[in-house]
Amino acid sequence: MKKNIVVLPGDGIGPEIVDGALTILDKTAAKYGHKFYYDMIEVGGCSIDKYGVPITSENMEKCRNADSVLLGAVGGPKWDTVDPLLRPEKALLAIRRELGLFANLRPTRLFTQLGGASPLKDSITSAGIDLVIVRELTGGIYFGEHKTCEVPEKTATDIMTYSEHEIERIGRVAFEAAMKRRKKLTSVDKANVLDTSKLWREIMHRLAAEYPEVEYSDLYVDNAAMQLIRDPGRFDVIVTENMFGDILSDEASMLTGSIGMMPSASLSGGTCGMYEPIHGSAPDIAGKDIANPLGTILSAAMMLKYSFGLDEEAQAIETAVDQVLSDGFRTADIVSDDTIQVGCREMCRRVTEAL
């Protein structure tokens, strides 16, 4: 198999973690007889510095024509004072819109070796945490109208809008994900207050009738936030709208022991997707070789699975990560007294060897 991958190292620790992930992809390709071609482009703050915009039209076109996109991280305090319309993060919103990436999948898995790094008690973590949050990514309040009026007093308004087709397409992604896992789906909304959530629940119930094998339930977002901490093992797949998904997936990331362990996939109706760890650019540790690359490596594994259909290869990478953790190697964010601290490059080397 030959695939063209657009690589967006980005800012901060992005180049370090992406470099390690590409090494693992190359090892995987060599092992299974594939060839991956990489087109490295600037995006985010580094693109602003070079071109004056977070992503150029030429580089956007490269993303459109790619088989998939792998991203490190964008942003940092250096660009906090630029025009809000030119912030580094605007590049990500533009890519999501141009590629039609409406579904964000964030698997939350607590590796058993990292039970001590989770903030939850051992009695809870021992039961296992293995869930996926499916977040609608291109609608809702983040993409609604935003305005501030000055008269009669300063008043800000942000509008949340969802249409039937937007809810139905993300709902189908979630139900299909549940069918491939433990056949359990929880839809999170705020239907006791919001009209968008009432419509959301109506559409989800309609879809549930098409998937009788899936155990379906509704949960208000405030209750879902509590249950993620109280009993995360109750969840398999969670589906929710954009803002709720943003908050809940960040909350869930802490259950894994470190946000550095969390991969994600942003998908469209086709095979092209954008894959990235969910942590930020962490400019305070950039260049110090202490970043955790595992979230990026696991994102690359998701790319092999969801965009290229290479399930065996994806599993091989996940198994290699599991082996390195079992061998006791840790980056600074997940190290403990009885483990061996290594840097970003060394962690990538260990995973590559484990393949």
Please answer whether residues 72 and 8 qualify as being in contact, where contact means their C-beta atoms are separated by less than 8 angstroms.
Answer: yes
Question: What radius of gyration do the chain's Cα atoms show?
Answer: 20
Q: DSSP characters for 50-61?
A: HHSSSS-HHHHH
Instruction: Name the DSSP class of 214.
Output: S
State how far the alpha carbon of 230 is from the alpha carbons of 110, 125, 209, in Å: 15, 11, 29
Angle (CA) 7 8 12, round 5°: 135
Question: What residue has token string 């994102």?
Answer: 299
Nearest-10 crossing angle of helices 90-99, 57-65? 40
d(CA 40, CA 94): 18
Please answer whether residues 239 and 188 qualify as being in contact, where contact means their C-beta atoms are separated by less than 8 angstroms.
Answer: yes
d(CA 176, CA 134): 11
- Residue 110, Cβ density class (10 Å: 0-12 exposed, 13-18 middle, ≥19 buried): buried
Q: Please state the length of the chain.
A: 355
d(CA 295, CA 8): 15
Phi/psi class of residue 10: alpha, beta or left (left: φ > 0; alpha: ψ in -120 to 50)?
Answer: left
N-term to C-term CA, the chain: 19
Please answer whether residues 152 and 257 qualify as being in contact, where contact means their C-beta atoms are separated by less than 8 angstroms.
Answer: no
Question: What residue has token string 């509008």?
Answer: 159
d(CA 336, CA 86): 41
Residues designated catalytic = 142, 190, 222, 246, 250
Nearest-10 crossing angle of helices 294-306, 311-326? 160
